[in-house]
Amino acid sequence: MECQIGVISGDGIGPEIVTEAKKVLDQVGKKYGHNFRYTEILMGGCSIDATGVPLTDDAIETAKASDAVLMGSIGGNTSTSPWYKLAPELRPEAGLLKLRKSLNLFANLRPAYLYEELKEACPLRDDIIGDGFDMMIMRELTGGLYFGERKTEEVDGVVTATDILTYNENEIRRIAKRGFDIAMKRCKKVTSVDKANVLDSSRLWRKVVEEVAKDYPEVTYEHMLVDNCAMQLVKDPKQFDVILTENMFGDILSDEASMVTGSIGMLSSASLNDTKFGLYEPSGGSAPDIAGKGIANPIATILSAAMMLRYSFDLDKEADAIENAVKQVLKEGYRTIDIMPQAGESKDGITQVGTVKMGDLIAERV
C-alpha cells in the first residue's frame, strides 16, 4: 500500500518522538510491504519562527493532500517563551485549532488501556483492576457547549453568564456512526453517555443513537448517565469497550479514564472527520522541561501511528504488530524515565532507556 503521511514534528520533544514513530512505521513498511512517504508540515512555534504565523495556508493544503497526519506536539514554556507574548491567534496552539477546523475533525478518540507491566501506576485497587482494562473514549469535538453562544451581562443589576449547549441530529448521527464503526473493530459494545434525565440535547442524543444502533445489529449498546459513568470508571472500568459521548462530558471523562492508566507518555489519540482521514497525536504536550535531553517517552506517538494504520489505512494486522511490540518491550523490562518504578517499588529486571533506544527496541520487535 502507498501511504502519503503529513508529519508535524512541532516543538519541544515533538521532533524526538516523531522520529521514533517514523522509525517504527518504516519497519512495518519493510516487513509488510507498504510504502510510507512523509511530507513535513510546519505548525506551532517552529512555524512562527519561520513564517510569522503558527500555520500557513500552504501547510493546511499539504495536510489536506495527505492520507493522514502524524503529529508530535506543539508549543513551548507558556511563562518564558516569546511565542506566548504574541496575540492569542498567533500563538502555537492557534495553529492546531485552525487545523482541526479546516479538516473538520469532529471525532476524537482516546484509548485508555492498562498495561499489565504498568499496573503499579494505576491508582485503583488490585481487585478492581483485575486483568486490566481496555476502553476507547469517542468524544464529539466540534459542537456542544464549547462552541455555543456565550455571554456575560447584567440582568436586573446582577452579573449573569450564559453558555448555550446545542446539538443537531446530524452532528449526533455522524459521531454515533463513528462510535459504532470503531466498536465493530473492537469488542462490539457501545456505552452512550448523556444526561437525558435533565437535558434536551441529551434526549435528542439518545434518540439518534438508538436510530444509528439499528444499523449495527452485532453491536450491544447501552445508555448511561454521565454522573453514573464517572463513578463506574473508577468502580468497574472493565465493563467498558467504546464510550460514546458529547464534547464536554468527553473532555472530563477522557481525562478521568486516562488518569487510571498511568503515564501521559503512553496515551495516544486520534481526531477524525467523515472520511478515512485522521490527525494522530500523543495526548501529552511538548514537554519543554525535558526537550533535547533524549529522555522523552516515544510510546504514545508510536501508538498514535498504530491508530493511524488501523483507522485511516485499515491495516489492522500491522497496527496489532506495533501494539504487541510495545507490550513485548514493556514485558522485557525496558522503561523510559517517566514509567520507571517509583521509590519503594521493585526495580528487579527493569532497564531504563532513552527515547532513541526505546524506538529501536520497539522497531526491532515489530
Residue 278 Cβ vs ligand NAD, minimum distance, rounded to whole Å? 14
Beta bridge partners of 221: 190
CA pair distance 67, 278, nearest whole angstrom: 8
From candidates 233, 253, 290, 322, binder to ligand NAD by CB under 6 A: 290
The secondary structure element, H or E, covering residue 135 is strand 134-140
**Beta strands 278-282 and 68-73: pairing type?**
parallel
CA pair distance 255, 285, nearest whole angstrom: 14
**215 is a catalytic site residue:** no
Closest by CA position to 41, among listed 201, 226, 279: 279
Residue 267 Cβ vs ligand NAD, minimum distance, rounded to whole Å? 9
Which 232-271 residues touch ligand NAD, going by CB under 6 A?
264-265
CA pair distance 287, 12, nearest whole angstrom: 6
On whether the CB atoms of residues 4 and 37 are closer than 8 A, the answer is yes
∠ CA 59-306-315, nearest 5°, is 100
**227 is a catalytic site residue:** yes
Scanning 23-31, 60-68, 212-220, 284-292 for contacts with ligand NAD by CB under 6 A, the matching segment is 284-292
237 vs 288, which CB is nearer to ligand NAD? 288
**255 is a catalytic site residue:** yes
Give Cα 239 to chain centroid, integer Å. 21
Beta bridge partners of 158: 155
From candidates 284, 315, 362, 363, binder to ligand NAD by CB under 6 A: 284
Scanning 222-230, 238-246, 294-302, 346-354 for contacts with ligand NAD by CB under 6 A, the matching segment is 294-302
Residue 342 Cβ vs ligand NAD, minimum distance, rounded to whole Å? 15
The secondary structure element, H or E, covering residue 221 is strand 220-225
Tell me: does residue 111 bind ligand NAD (CB under 6 A): no
Question: From residue 68 to residue 97, what is the string marking binding to ligand NAD with x (rule CB under 6 A)?
Answer: -----xxxx-x--------------x--x-
From candidates 310, 338, 353, 366, binder to ligand NAD by CB under 6 A: 338
67 vs 338, which CB is nearer to ligand NAD? 338
Q: How many residues bind ligand NAD (CB under 6 A)?
A: 23
Residue 125 Cβ vs ligand NAD, minimum distance, rounded to whole Å? 25
Residue 18 Cβ vs ligand NAD, minimum distance, rounded to whole Å? 11
Please identify which of the residues 185, 195, 327, 357 carries the catalytic annotation: 195
The secondary structure element, H or E, covering residue 7 is strand 2-10
CA pair distance 211, 22, nearest whole angstrom: 40
CA pair distance 59, 272, nearest whole angstrom: 18
Sign of CA dihedral 316, 122, 178, 150: negative
From candidates 7, 109, 296, 361, binder to ligand NAD by CB under 6 A: 296
Which of the residues are catalytic? Answer: 146, 195, 227, 251, 255
| Contact residues: ligand NAD, CB under 6 A | 13, 17, 73-76, 78, 93, 96, 264-265, 281, 284-290, 296-297, 300, 338
